Amino acid sequence: MRFIQTLKNIWKIDDLRTRILITIGFVAVYRFGSFVILPGVNPEHLVALRNSASGGLLGLLDMFSGGAFSNASIFALGIMPYISASIVMQLLGIAIPYFQKLQREGESGRTKMNQYTRYLTVAILLMQGPAYLYGAIRQAIPGGFWDWVLPATIILAAGSMFVLWLGERITDKGVGNGISFIILIGIIARLPDALVGEIDRLFNAPGGLILFLIEIVFLLFVTGFAIMLVQGTRKVPVQYAKRIVGNKQYGGVRQYIPLKVNAANVMPIIFAQAIMFIPITLAQFTAKEGGGFFAQLFAPLMNSNSFAYNLVFALLIIAFTYFYTAITVNPTQMAEDLKRNNGFIPGVKPGKRTAEYIDTIMSRITLPGSILLAIIAILPAIASLFDINNQFAHFFGGTSLLILVGVVLDTLQQIESHLLMRHYDGFLKSGAKIKGRTGSMAAY
């Protein structure tokens, strides 16, 4: 009953109702475009592509695009090229002084960085377009380079940029972070087929119902674990002095700094996944009937269930967790803010010592957080060892589950804020709050 009452309260708020309807409208446009096949492609020639995209790394790529990849849709390249461009720009912001300066220039600097990110996205799309056409749908290409491949590449690039525009409009006019929401919708769109395929497999086997119930219980357990990882914090006690005379402090209040166990949230796993898609692009450039040079070279990394793939994937996640935590959490700035507001950590001197203390705490809690994140990321490969359907196995962890958990929590947090501002109860009981992923994918 409480949930139904919350839905009624949402409908009563004009601004929130409008935002939700706008979000649904943009999502409908995105889903419609996922079924619009490239001009000239015969759908009957896409059987091989759909079979190859039913599992493995291509299956994961197809999941992120909501099936547009296997449909040879105008949205086939999806939003991943933009994420890849964002990764490159963030790395440049650390290595090159010019981009470091832009990052410090506030809103104008961010505008220029976003502009460069879009330019780089277009460049990546113009490379990935021919790779996709020659590698993934080579048997369905109806013409030569100049009369079909080049126009089709431009259509694919325009389609991905349109998806990016839809995501930005959802962020501005709708609910939640638009880019994250686009990825979420693509993942959810593949869930019914994956679930039906797993049910069909199990119910034709002895004891299938019991096995299915065990899988659902394990899936719920992993989902709960992912939620705790996204929301988990360690509290550092801080004493705020009301009045300071000489070296003595009078009065004050004791509060806490919540340092997240996984401050980078889902970003490391998305960064790592974007890099793991690179072998597919290189292999498709040299695609042949017998396999190209890059296809043979990167064969171990093109199987998402192989040991080599999951080892590299896990190491990348751990590395990106430290990287993204370092650029999002600034211990020096936190120490300066504490000192400016007459705050201090008991037993630690203000200033440099406080910054070092916070940095030490972050390092200690980031290591287990990154390892747990990596474990969740490789769970689909472990699930596949038990003969679970490849498409359904993607939901037992990995990028899919973490994005689902993170984006849903983030969206619910925004809706909760609208309700509380209008003095309505939120989704949870009074006093409880939904912790979202603030600062994670907002960079997009």
Of the candidate ranges 49-58, 61-70, 416-425, the one whose mean pLDDT is the lowest: 49-58
Residue 416: Cβ-neighbour burial (10 angstroms; 0-12, 13-18, 19+): buried
Is pLDDT larger for residue 132 or for residue 266?
Answer: 132
* pLDDT (tens digit per residue) in 208-247: 788 888 888 888 888 888 778 777 777 777 776 655 544 5
* pLDDT (tens digit per residue) in 5-22: 777 777 888 888 888 999
| Residue 108 CB coordination number (10 Å) | 9
In the prediction, which pLDDT does 294 show?
A: 58
The residue-averaged pLDDT of 82-96 equals: 84
Number of domains in the chain: 1
List the 233-240 sheet strands across, edge first: 253-260, 233-240, 343-344
Whole-angstrom Cα distance, residue 265 to residue 402? 9
Percent of the chain at pLDDT > 70 equals: 84
Mean pLDDT of the chain: 79
Whole-angstrom Cα distance, residue 55 to residue 68? 15
* pLDDT (tens digit per residue) in 154-181: 999 999 999 999 999 998 988 888 888 8
Residue type, 265: N
Of 14-18, 287-291, 421-425, which one has max mean pLDDT? 14-18
241: nearest Cα among 334, 338, 332: 338
In the prediction, which pLDDT does 30 show?
A: 92
In the prediction, which pLDDT does 54 show?
A: 66
* DSSP assignment of 397-429: SHHHHHHHHHHHHHHHHHHHHHHHHTT---SS-
Q: What is the pTM of this model?
A: 0.78
Q: What is the CATH number of the domain that holds 22?
A: 1.10.3370.10
Is pLDDT larger for residue 148 or for residue 296?
Answer: 148
* pLDDT (tens digit per residue) in 362-390: 888 888 888 888 888 888 888 888 878 77
How many residues would you count in the chain? Answer: 444
User: Helix, strand, or coil here: 254?
Assistant: strand
The residue-averaged pLDDT of 176-204 equals: 83
pLDDT tier for residue 428 given thresholds of 50, 70 and 90: low
Domain that holds residue 29: 2-443
